[in-house]
């Protein structure tokens, strides 16, 4: 039992924590934009269904919101890549 604990402790290298941090960064960083895009799309489609004349204006604003949400996802991806290769 003590040998297994010692072997597991020796496996916890800085590389392990670096990869764990990168995985958490991209995993948690992708949750927010995914939820945001889903909510924005749902509300936009609901608004277009209620007021079809305003569909063009709603669609333009929806695309802008998607771009801003995706920027956060890309930022999380860049941070995870930096954690893997730079730190």
Radius of gyration of the chain (CA): 21
- Does residue 21 or residue 12 have the better pLDDT? 21
Q: pTM value?
A: 0.71
pLDDT tens, position by position, 43-75: 999 999 999 999 999 999 999 989 988 898 899
Instruction: Give the Cα separation of 40 and 49 in Å (integer).
Output: 14
Query: For residue 3, is pLDDT > 90?
Result: no
Report whether 45 contacts 58 (CB < 8 A): no
**Domains of the chain and CATH, by start:** 25-85 (1.20.20.10)
How would residue 13 be classed by pLDDT, with cut points 50, 70 and 90?
A: confident
């Amino acid at each position: 039992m003590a040998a297994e604990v010692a072997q597991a402790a020796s496996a916890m290298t800085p590389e392990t924590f670096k990869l764990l941090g990168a995985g958490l960064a991209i995993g948690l960083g992708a949750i927010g934009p995914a939820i945001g895009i889903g909510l924005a799309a749902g509300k936009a489609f609901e608004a277009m269904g209620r007021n079809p004349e305003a569909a063009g204006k709603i669609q333009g604003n929806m695309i802008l919101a998607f771009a801003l949400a995706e920027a956060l996802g890309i930022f999380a991806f860049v941070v995870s890549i930096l954690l893997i290769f730079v730190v």
